[in-house]
Amino acid sequence: MLIRGVMLCLLGFALLRIGVRVGRRNGVLSSAFWITFPEFARYRRKHVWPALLGLAGAILSIWGLVLLFQWILAYYAARLGHPLT
């Protein structure tokens, strides 16, 4: 559980960083992009994938942090003599 949690966190943070960097370069994180989206939807649709990549990275990071937190709880429960059931 520890290794899976660490790997998910690292992968999630890497995807989040790539998504934010490319999204900032494409202007996805600005309000002007989203205000003019209906007028230029065909063009803008090609530049939305970094936002999806960032969302996937955030989800993976949260999932990995949940696994790490569960491992920490189980570790200290076993050390203190209160096994989780």
Under a CB-based contact definition with an 8 Å cutoff, are residues 73 and 84 in contact?
yes
Q: State the pLDDT at residue 85.
A: 54
The CA-based angle 63-71-18, given to 5 degrees, is 30
Place of tokens 């209160």: 82
Query: Which pair of tokens denotes residue 27?
Result: 């202007």
Give the Cα separation of 15 and 57 in Å (integer).
5
pLDDT band at 51 (very low <50, low <70, confident <90, very high): confident
Cβ count near 66 (within 10 Å)? 12
pLDDT band at 26 (very low <50, low <70, confident <90, very high): confident
